[in-house]
Structure 1
Amino acid sequence: MADDLNIGPERKIGMSHPCFIVAEIGQNHQGDINIAKQLISAAKASGADCVKFQKSCLVEKFNSAALKRPYLGPNSWGDTYEKHKQFLEFSLDQFRELQEFATRQEGVMFSASAMDMVSIDELDSMNVPFIKIGSGDANNLPLLKYAASKKRPLIISTGMQDMSTVRAVYRTVKAAGGQFCLCHCVSAYPTPPQQVNLRVLDNLQVGVPRHTCGLFGS
């Protein structure tokens, strides 16, 4: 497996290449596509190479009990978790509109974290430069195997995972023929500087053979 991850005709991730900066937009757009575009523009102006959102198919990711539970906190966009999440989820057409805005107008790469297999299919259909797997799914080996089967580059966060799980991730994705980058993450928001633990990158490079490793915030 090559040390470099090719995420486009003119961009690679690896030890001999410039730092690749991804601006996490997530769902901070509050369900408003105009706010999402403003955040894309701000990310580009700040020097980001790529903007990243989050994508979920609610009925694929959650069971009915989770979706129906009351969600009445001060930051809720609906009285159930399903209504809250629906408010924050963009349609595939809206994602395509944001991708067009990011790549054509702002000249910045566009991708998203896929939270389920349906979302992997949709992002793959958009021909994104890579699919992100968040820390919360790093131990979801069936999802990783499915994502790797698309033969599209993956960036996989490893927050909250121990080295045995990281090795399982490596074996699973490699066996499926996937191209991927493992990222050291600290699942604390915001992360105190004294907890960043950048030397974990050395552990990843020793514990996972011939692999591209990086730093990601989630």
Structure 2
Amino acid sequence: MISYFGIHMAHAIKIADREIGLNHPPYMIAEMSGNHNGDIGRAFALIEAAKDAGADAVKLQTYTADTITIDHDGPDFQIKGGLWDGRSLYELYEEAHTPWDWHERLFKKASDVGISIFSSPFDPTAVDFLTALDAPAFKIASFELVDIPLIEKVASVGKPMILSTGLADLGEIQEAIAAVRRAGLEDFVVLHCISSYPAPADNSNLLTMPHLGETFNVLTGLSDHTHGTSVSVAATALGATVIEKHMTLDRNDGGPDAAFSLEPNEFRQLVVDCNTAWKALGGIHYELKDAEQGSLIFRRSLYIVKDIAAGEVITSEHVRSIRPGYGLPPKELESVLGQRARDSIARGTPLAWHHLV
């Protein structure tokens, strides 16, 4: 396959029954994260809303406060600045985590609704847990991209993987991709990501995304933490095959990720706009398009703009390039000037070769 940037790209992959690749609309992931606000009913409603909005998948995060950090009041474990300033890591993750005893019910709910569901594991026990649930894919979060043993364990399961690259430099991305490939897995997508919450649009540097694709011969996409939908649409125009965006039922309800999440109607618009951007890409095509056929008559062409008698020499007073397009092409003007009219020609006649001697 050749990408929009003229580079050889990775083969398409499949999550559940959905093909992912440049020849398919972007795979749209609604990230639930902690936006369930500790209420499984809200989690169920988010799954339904994601399906209604046109998402291809809902993504969870599978950890507990104890599997991702420790309960410690030292300065290393306190968040300084940003959306969660002043909170401890343990406190934040205790609030935001999705209880493990919900997972089976959430997977069943997604199956009933007809939407794929998978998760980001944050330690080996989460990998085993999700494998037992027959998750159709795995996501490596940006902060875990440097955890090579975790990546190797996930890759060894053999399911498709999605890897986010926020915070990582080129060398770290290379190490993570190498770890996946060492395990024999080629069905993966690498997401460009800015790990800021929210992320400023002018920090997005979306041109990094096709460079990742060219450098590592992988499918690429975007994990988007900016406000709104514009950055995701722009990424689609640059060849993103996966778009991941946080979703909440209502930002006014609060929650750890609500401030940079889309509400259902906004996510629905995201899906529409990204699909439109993908369709607009098309291919390299210079032939007349079907939609253009009716506009051909409005091109310029050569018309007689002053009555001319039979045998008279045609000058620039007699012929001009004007609309519509029924006459000779304007490029023939120099060839026409100085020739004689075969018969009289009335003003408003599209000029043709048979009019000339």
Q: Considering the TM-score relative to the shorter chain, is it more than 0.5?
A: yes
Percent same amino acid at aligned positions? 31
Higher mean alpha-carbon deviation, 90-99 vs 31-40, is at 90-99
Secondary structure of the residue that 1:21 maps to in structure 2? strand
Compared with structure 1, are the counterparts of its residues 122 and 212 closer, same or farther at alpha carbon in structure 2 (3 Å cutoff)?
same
Q: Could you tell me how far 1:207 is from its partner in structure 2?
A: 1.4
Q: Could you tell me how far 1:91 is from its partner in structure 2?
A: 3.8
Secondary structure of the residue that 2:178 maps to in structure 1? helix
1:29 paired residue number? 36
Compared with structure 1, are the counterparts of its residues 81 and 2 closer, same or farther at alpha carbon in structure 2 (3 Å cutoff)?
closer
2:173 paired residue number? 166
- RMSD of Structure 2 on Structure 1 (CA): 2.6
2:207 paired residue number? 199
Alignment of 1:189 onto 2:197: yes
Compared with structure 1, are the counterparts of its residues 140 and 37 closer, same or farther at alpha carbon in structure 2 (3 Å cutoff)?
same
Q: Could you tell me how far 1:5 is from its partner in structure 2?
A: 1.9
| Partner AA of 1:29 in structure 2 | H
The one of 155, 161, 168 aligned to 1:154: 161
Compared with structure 1, are the counterparts of its residues 93 and 169 closer, same or farther at alpha carbon in structure 2 (3 Å cutoff)?
same
Q: Judge conservation of contact 1:44–1:108 (CA < 8 Å) in 2.
A: yes
- C-alpha separation in 2, matches of 1:84 and 1:162: 26
Compared with structure 1, are the counterparts of its residues 192 and 119 closer, same or farther at alpha carbon in structure 2 (3 Å cutoff)?
same
1:107 paired residue number? 114
Larger Rg: 2
- C-alpha separation in 1, matches of 2:70 and 2:93: 13
Moved over 3 A (4+): 57-60, 63-67, 79-93
2:354 paired residue number? none
2:55 paired residue number? 48
- C-alpha separation in 2, matches of 1:25 and 1:90: 9
Residues 74-100 of structure 1, C-alpha deviations (whole Å, 9 max, x = no match): x99xx9765664454344331110111
Q: Could you tell me how far 1:102 is from its partner in structure 2?
A: 1.5
Q: Judge conservation of contact 1:163–1:207 (CA < 8 Å) in 2.
A: no
Q: Could you tell me how far 1:189 is from its partner in structure 2?
A: 2.4
Compared with structure 1, are the counterparts of its residues 70 and 157 closer, same or farther at alpha carbon in structure 2 (3 Å cutoff)?
closer
| Partner AA of 2:143 in structure 1 | G
| Partner AA of 2:63 in structure 1 | S
The one of 59, 63, 70 aligned to 2:66: 59
- C-alpha separation in 1, matches of 2:168 and 2:91: 31
Higher mean alpha-carbon deviation, 106-115 vs 186-195, is at 186-195
- C-alpha separation in 1, matches of 2:158 and 2:39: 32
Q: Could you tell me how far 1:203 is from its partner in structure 2?
A: 1.0
| Partner AA of 1:201 in structure 2 | M
Query: What number of residue pairs does the alignment pair up?
Result: 209
Q: Judge conservation of contact 2:64–2:94 (CA < 8 Å) in 1.
A: no
| Partner AA of 1:198 in structure 2 | L
Unaligned segments of structure 2, at least 5 residues = 1-8, 226-357
Please, what TM-score do these two structures have when normalized by structure 2? 0.53
Q: Judge conservation of contact 2:194–2:224 (CA < 8 Å) in 1.
A: yes
Q: Could you tell me how far 1:12 is from its partner in structure 2?
A: 1.9
Please, what TM-score do these two structures have when normalized by structure 1? 0.85
Q: Could you tell me how far 1:37 is from its partner in structure 2?
A: 1.1
Secondary structure of the residue that 1:173 maps to in structure 2? helix
Q: Judge conservation of contact 2:29–2:59 (CA < 8 Å) in 1.
A: yes
| Partner AA of 2:211 in structure 1 | N
